Structure 1
Amino acid sequence: MQALIDVILPVFLVVGFGYVLVWRKFLNDLAIDGIMKFAQQVAVPCLLFNALAHIDLNTGFDPALLFSFYTGAGTCFALGLIGARYVFNRSWEDSVAIGFCALFSNSVLLGLAITERAYGTDALAGNYAIIAMHSPFCYGLGITVMEVVRAREAGTAMTRLPATVLKAMFSNVLIVAITLGFLFNISGLSVPGVAQGALDMMVRTALPTALFALGGILYRYRPEGDLRVILFVCALSLLLHPLITFSLSNGLGVPDAGMRSAVLTSAMAPGVNVYIFASMYGRAQRVAASTVLIATALSIFSAWFWLSVLP
């Protein structure tokens, strides 16, 4: 109960504050979109760049940790795709978008925030390692499978597939920030003191601003679409993914700090990016939006459960 009060509820109160202010029309959609654009395209990229420019690559990037997390994510993607196609009779393109909902955890806005509140800023190396791989892995997998499906259905050649995937990935500002952070880290470059001070100020705005904007955006996502599909994706994201991650982490001997980061991140709801991915292709948008809303509410309980289980 103490974890719920001290760790989880403050995070969701910030989300709820954004939700209520939009609901009561104190802020409109245009204002929330501006706040989220600042968070996603400025503040959060600054956070990721700063973290990866300074992270200890030898200790943060534990192959067993990454294998545990991304095996769970990939398994949920495959099961989401297959279940949507063969159990719920969705089209192949809809099925890829639904599989993506089960693949993409909210690793930054929820996973990072809850892990930081639970274990402190010194326990986030595993989170940043996961985040560094998250967008490249998830978008790379989702876009590749979607383009293969579309090419097969249209009967066109797939020679342009690598270029399509790379263009889509590197037009994402988060991936650019992650890449630059790695380059600074590997090269030993450092940000000048004055610029680092400004960067630190920007970093401190990232999580609260993004959480607040997330609440505002969730207000417009009404629970619509096929409820059975939504609950299926919620079960994959909130139950199966952390269970696989926890089991593999235990079996592979991932240190406690890394296990906490991996399991808590895997227990988070799908992020808003699943709706962005669905909108890119015009597929399963209502399912994606409703899944984000419902799973975000349910992740209060998944986070509470794993905080009580983890060492």
Structure 2
Amino acid sequence: MVVSSNSLTPMGDVLSVTLPVFVLIAAGYLAVWRGIFSETHTEGLMTFTQKFAIPCLLFSAIAGLDLKASFDWRLLTSYYTGSIVCFMAGIAGAKIFFGRPTEDAIAIGFAAMFANTVLLGLPIAERAYGIDSLTPNFAIISIHAGFCYLVGLTTMEIVRARHAATRPGAFATARLVARAMFRNALMIGVGLGLAVNLSGLTLPAPVMEAVTLMTSAALPAALFGLGGVMVRYKPEGDGRTILMLISIALILHPAVTLGMGTLLALDTPQLRAAVLTAAMAPGVNSYLFAAVYGRATRVSASGVLLGTAASIVTVSVWILILP
């Protein structure tokens, strides 16, 4: 069901857009929590969605984009200005108010910046405004992982290099970042979509139909799997730091994006896409980033879980605010 933008005034109508998405996440959570669906099954489902189905979805979307119209610098500036502000706010807040070490603060800043643009952002935007509204979303998503990881990894490695002479230099760090990006299945899907788009190739109909079948399973399966993955994230300690992280991700990010988008005169579909994407909870990748460095993992995991729960309300409010 798609609810038209003209009907998104009463809170009940807005919840009819957002709640089914979170009900599907809750179903996955309950299934794993109660042992009906094992964690091994969940890992297999997430492997399928993140390495096959969602890359196919991104490939199909990027291959068919009008690149000149979609990659509007104002749209990307509006969204990613918010990302950088949140990254810096997370670092500053963690260090100044909670006395966290710099490396912990960077992991927290990364979590504040890395919104769940795909697993939450796409299904909610599609239900709110229709599948034809997703073009700006795909433009944002196409560089999202690359941008956030480049900022986060580079900052972390620079800070770590100050404390140990044996840390890799700038060239080695850049090579590690590039290798991680090119091995990321989502980035591969985006890259292949861009290659097809720019080359003007027309793939055989059976291939495209197979891709379409794959994409139809991507978001529902990913939402169910996301719920299952969250069972392992236990909200533990650091309550005030987690509250700060969630506030930055769910309130500051969309607020800055809304302000920048208004200042740069984005049209209504672009503004809605940018702000709604910015309003998503921290993505699972924020925990993975923290786990790689062994820094602020408890805060990042709790931010994913509690932020997703809190976004049931905050995302609904942002939909009400948007034109």
Q: Does TM, scored on the shorter chain, surpass 0.5?
A: yes
Q: Which amino acid aligns with 2:252?
A: L
**258-267 vs 170-179, which moves further:** 170-179
| 1:250-297 residue CA offsets vs partner (Å, 9 max, x unmatched) | 111101001111000101100001011111111111111100000001
User: Could you tell me how far 1:5 is from its partner in structure 2?
Assistant: 3.3
Alignment of 1:40 with 2:50, yes or no, is: yes
1:153 partner SS: coil
Alignment of 1:294 with 2:317, yes or no, is: no
TM-score, normalisation: structure 1 = 0.97
* Alignment correspondent of 2:8: none
Q: Distance in 2 between matches of 1:5 and 1:242?
A: 19
Structure 1 unaligned residues grouped into runs of 5+: none
* Alignment correspondent of 2:64: 54
Alignment of 1:216 with 2:235, yes or no, is: no
**298-307 vs 261-270, which moves further:** 298-307
Q: Which amino acid aligns with 2:140?
A: I
Q: Distance in 2 between matches of 1:147 and 1:49?
A: 31
* Alignment correspondent of 1:143: 153
After TM superposition, the structure 1 = structure 2 runs for residues 93-242 of structure 1, keeping only pairs within 5 Å, are: 93-156=103-166, 157-242=169-254
Q: Which amino acid aligns with 2:312?
A: I
* Alignment correspondent of 1:274: 286
2:162 partner SS: helix
Answer yes or no: is the 8 Å Cα contact 1:151–1:158 preserved in 2: no
Answer yes or no: is the 8 Å Cα contact 2:137–2:274 preserved in 1: yes
| 1:128-163 residue CA offsets vs partner (Å, 9 max, x unmatched) | 000001011001111111111111111344342221
Q: Which amino acid aligns with 2:237?
A: G
Q: Distance in 2 between matches of 1:206 and 1:3?
A: 25
Q: Distance in 2 between matches of 1:127 and 1:3?
A: 22
User: Could you tell me how far 1:59 is from its partner in structure 2?
Assistant: 1.8
| 1:94-136 residue CA offsets vs partner (Å, 9 max, x unmatched) | 1111110001000001111100001111000110000001011
Q: Distance in 2 between matches of 1:192 and 1:3?
A: 41
Answer yes or no: is the 8 Å Cα contact 1:3–1:118 preserved in 2: no
**181-190 vs 118-127, which moves further:** 181-190
| 1:208-238 residue CA offsets vs partner (Å, 9 max, x unmatched) | 0000000111122110131111100111000
| 1:37-60 residue CA offsets vs partner (Å, 9 max, x unmatched) | 111111111100110010111221
User: Could you tell me how far 1:82 is from its partner in structure 2?
Assistant: 1.8
TM-score, normalisation: structure 2 = 0.94
User: Could you tell me how far 1:190 is from its partner in structure 2?
Assistant: 2.2
* Alignment correspondent of 1:262: 274
Q: Distance in 2 between matches of 1:258 and 1:218?
A: 31
* Alignment correspondent of 2:85: 75
Q: Distance in 2 between matches of 1:142 and 1:176?
A: 20
User: Could you tell me how far 1:195 is from its partner in structure 2?
Assistant: 0.6
Identity %: 49
Q: Aligned in 2, Cα 1:6/1:65: closer, same or farther, shift over 3 Å? A: same
2:35 partner SS: coil
Structure 2 unaligned residues grouped into runs of 5+: 1-10
Q: Which amino acid aligns with 1:196?
A: M
Count of residues in correspondence between the two structures: 311
Q: Distance in 2 between matches of 1:172 and 1:91?
A: 29
Which of 97, 114, 131 aligns to 1:87? It is: 97
**67-76 vs 215-224, which moves further:** 215-224
Answer yes or no: is the 8 Å Cα contact 1:3–1:304 preserved in 2: no
Q: Which amino acid aligns with 1:300?
A: I
* Alignment correspondent of 2:5: none
1:261 partner SS: helix
Q: Distance in 1 between matches of 2:187 and 2:170?
A: 24
Q: Which amino acid aligns with 2:196?
A: F
